Amino acid sequence: MEAFSFGSYYPGDSAVHRLDPRTKLLLGFAFLITVLTVGSFCGLVPVAMFVVLVYVVARVPLRRVLSSMAPLLAIVVVVAVLNLFSDQSGRILWQLGFLQVSEGSLRSAAFVACRLTLMMAGMSAITLTTPTLDLTAGFERLLAPFARVGLPAHELGMIMGIALRFMPQFATEMKQTADAQASRGARVTGGPLGGVRMLGSVAIPLFTGVFRHAETLSAAMDARCYHGEQGRTRLHALAFGRGDVLAALAMALLVTCVVVINLQLF
């Protein structure tokens, strides 16, 4: 069977790995906002330094980082190309009909590309150092305060966890069904009608499979005494530690740097 790997967790035991997932999620959010407020190349320098620092501390090899970001780089390219035609200040360098590229647009495209890449690198640092289950647990706990206004935080976390658990399962099943139908002559390239038939012949067994799984899974969860959040404990209780404080301080430093640079320039 083909290996299917979801997420991009890189196992390790560094200080970054050991951070509480809630810290990582909150700081990740702060990081995104900070990077979005950066207005110049100069402001991106401390951001880049921060990202490099995180990866060095996490001891994730460069190759692994690049391979986890590779699929996202397509987005960077698309956004950068779009930006080429937006800002039209400065000398015009190239023109074809109504399309033109100027110095300003070139600079803005490069800036947007750098900013996006750094944002993705920062976010990848979270998914690379945190198992998906810990992420959902952190997510669940962060949403817990909203439970009072009716937000089903625990259920959302549970749903995310189970979805992640079954993702590779469904990928395997889809491959098996597609193989079986292909053995009966189904082709995606058999014209629009053949395409629709092929899609149905794979999608319907997949859906019936989902329901079959859901039925047994719910019985299996019942059999293991699942009854919602009430009175539930955790194998790994989440707890903030010294590392989390240090991480927060590092993030505060980054925010200060960016703010200072932004103010100087305006």
Partner 1 sequence: MIECRGVSFSYDGAAPALDGVDLNIEDGEFFCILGGNGSGKSTFAKHLNALLQPDAGTVRVNGMDASDPELVYDIRSTAGMVFQNPDDQLVATLVEDDVAFGPENLGVPSAQIARRVREALKGVGLVGFERHETHALSGGQKQRVALAGVLAMEPRVLILDEASSMLDPRGRKGLMKACHALHNRGMTIVMITHFMEEAAEADRVAVFQAGRVAMLGKPEEILTRADELAQLNLDMPVSCCLGRALREKGVSVCAQVREADMVAEIAQAYAERSGTDIAGQPSASDSHVLDNGSSAADGIAASEPVIEISHLSHSYSLSARERRRWRKRSTTADASSKQALWGNDPNSPWALRDVSLTVRRGEFLGLAGHTGSGKSTLVQHLNGLIRPQEGSVCALGLDLSNKKDAAAVKAKVGVVFQYPERQLFAETVAQDVAFGPRNLGLPQDEVARRVASSLARVGLDLAAIGDKSPFELSGGQQRRVAFAGVLAMEPEVLVLDEPMAGLDPAARRDFLGLIDRLHREGLTVVMVSHSMDDLANCCDRIVVMNEGAVFAEGTPAQVFAHADELKSIGLGVPAAQRMALALAQAGVPLRCDKLYAVEALADELAGLLLGCADVPLRVPCQAGSKAPTREEGC
Residues in contact with partner 1 by the rule CB under 8 A:
1-4, 11, 131-133, 161-162, 164-165, 168-169, 172, 176-177, 179-187, 190, 194, 197, 200-201, 203-205, 208-209, 212-213, 216-217, 219-227, 231-237
**Nearer residue to partner 1 within complex by CB, 3 or 263:** 3
- CB 177, min distance to partner 1, A: 6
**Nearer residue to partner 1 within complex by CB, 39 or 194:** 194
- CB 59, min distance to partner 1, A: 17
7: left (phi over 0), alpha (psi -120 to 50) or beta: left
**Nearer residue to partner 1 within complex by CB, 39 or 131:** 131
> What residues contact residue 156 under an 8 Å CB cut-off, 6+ apart?
139, 140, 143
The CA distances from residue 242 to 19, 20, 57, 239, in Å, are 9, 10, 15, 10
Contact 175, 135 (CB under 8 A): no
Work out the angle at residue 138's Cα, subtended by the Cα atoms of residues 44 and 13, and round it to the nearest 5 degrees.
Answer: 70
- CB 7, min distance to partner 1, A: 9
**Nearer residue to partner 1 within complex by CB, 113 or 133:** 133
Tell me the three state secondary structure of residue 101.
Answer: strand
**Nearer residue to partner 1 within complex by CB, 63 or 234:** 234
- CB 179, min distance to partner 1, A: 5
- CB 249, min distance to partner 1, A: 28
The CA distances from residue 251 to 25, 34, 58, 118, 126, in Å, are 12, 10, 16, 15, 14
